[in-house]
């Protein structure tokens, strides 16, 4: 029997922002994040996570974050790939590689891409402690630009570290989206996704997305009821083909996000674009029929 494949036509949405997390060993950082976001009630055990999305007919991009700042238990790229392979009817794996790993990290990126499963890269500058325009990260961008696969950057405020003394060492300046503009100039064939409404730099993120053809915004990490009027305005108009549904599971669930999305003033013809069609095109997903 062949392994299940992702059937785009059977899905009601594609969630562009889902974390695969360790299921034990909670840290002070985890407790602070739970306090900041509230208890979503989302199952974190890996089989339960997959079934949550499968039962709702939602496909999802899944990744971990390769970092050494917060003390959180690491989930490796191999674990992400294994999870996605076991749940290929719903899961789309992205790698995460700390740019500070240098040539060793680049070799891992090339190996993962050569295996033909990984479909993008997740970076979190505030917890990986780098500015997106730092040449340190350029060799990684070159690898993914060559494959024309997207790189997702965390942007804006970080819920991770909020309320911890000294922010847990997380420097918010690395969440400013403006340095991503340089990356978009230097790698015009690299699809770039700025994750989250980029508070307090939302207008900057919108400007970059408007100006650079290869830049997108995912709407994860915030309930839609807190989206700024400007973000809603541009999502309805000039950015309607460049805005993507994302939840930030398990911190925010698709159930909550989608419920609140119904209550905001997004045009009926734009909703399918945000929920699935833009992601389908960006990720070059195809029906299995």
**DSSP secondary structure letters along 27-90:** -HHHHHHHHHH-------SHHHHHHHHHHTTEEEEEE----SSS-PPP--HHHHHHHHHHTTTT
Domain count, the chain: 1
Query: Is residue 159 pLDDT above 70, yes or no?
Result: yes
Q: Would 84 be classed as within a structural domain? A: yes
Instruction: Kindly state whether residue 123 falls inside one of the protein's structural domains.
Output: yes
Q: What is the CATH number of the domain that holds 65?
A: 3.20.20.140
Q: What is the pLDDT of residue 286?
A: 82
Structural domain range at position 196? 8-282
* The pLDDT of residue 187: 98
Q: What average pLDDT does range 246-269 have in this prediction?
A: 97
Q: What pLDDT band is residue 1 in, cutting at 50, 70 and 90?
A: very low
CB hemisphere CA count around 188 (13 angstroms)? 4
CB-CB contact of 180 with 149 (8 Å): no
Is 2 domain-assigned? no
19 inside domain: yes
Task: Evaluate whether residue 289 is within a structural domain.
Answer: no
Strands (E), the chain: 13-19, 58-63, 91-93, 95-96, 121-123, 151-154, 192-195, 215-218, 243-244
- The pLDDT value recorded for residue 289 is 47
CA dist., res. 88 & res. 105, Å (int): 25
Asked if residue 3 belongs to a domain, the reply is: no
Range 257-270 average pLDDT: 98
Residue 288: inside a domain: no
Residue 12 lies in a domain: yes
Three-class secondary structure assignment of 182-197: HHHHHCCCCCEEEECC
CA 242 to chain centre: 14
């Amino acid at each position: 029997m062949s392994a299940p494949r992702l059937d785009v036509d059977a899905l009601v949405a594609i969630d562009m922002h889902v974390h695969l997390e360790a299921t034990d060993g909670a840290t002070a950082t985890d407790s602070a994040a739970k306090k900041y976001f509230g208890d979503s009630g989302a199952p974190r055990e890996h089989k339960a996570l997959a079934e949550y999305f499968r039962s709702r007919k939602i496909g999802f991009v899944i990744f971990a974050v390769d970092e050494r700042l917060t003390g959180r238990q690491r989930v490796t790229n191999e674990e992400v790939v294994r999870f996605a392979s076991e749940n290929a009817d719903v899961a789309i794996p992205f790698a995460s590689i700390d740019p500070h790993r240098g040539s060793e990290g680049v070799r891992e990126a090339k190996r993962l891409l050569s295996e033909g499963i990984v479909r993008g890269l997740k970076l979190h500058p505030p917890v990986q402690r780098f500015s997106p325009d730092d040449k340190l990260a350029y060799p990684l961008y070159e690898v993914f630009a060559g494959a024309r696969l997207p790189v997702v950057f965390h942007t804006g405020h970080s819920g991770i570290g909020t309320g911890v003394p000294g922010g847990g060492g997380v420097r918010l300046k690395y969440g400013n989206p403006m340095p991503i503009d340089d990356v978009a100039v230097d790698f015009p064939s690299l699809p770039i996704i700025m994750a989250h409404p980029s508070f307090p730099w939302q207008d900057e993120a919108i400007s970059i997305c408007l100006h650079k053809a290869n830049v997108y915004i995912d709407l994860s990490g915030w309930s839609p009821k807190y989206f700024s009027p400007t973000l809603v305005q541009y999502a309805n108009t000039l950015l309607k083909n460049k805005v993507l549904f994302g939840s930030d599971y398990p911190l925010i669930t698709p159930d909550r996000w989608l419920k609140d999305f119904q209550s905001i003033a997004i045009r009926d013809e734009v909703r399918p674009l945000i929920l699935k069609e833009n992601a389908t095109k960006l990720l070059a997903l195809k029906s299995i029929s």
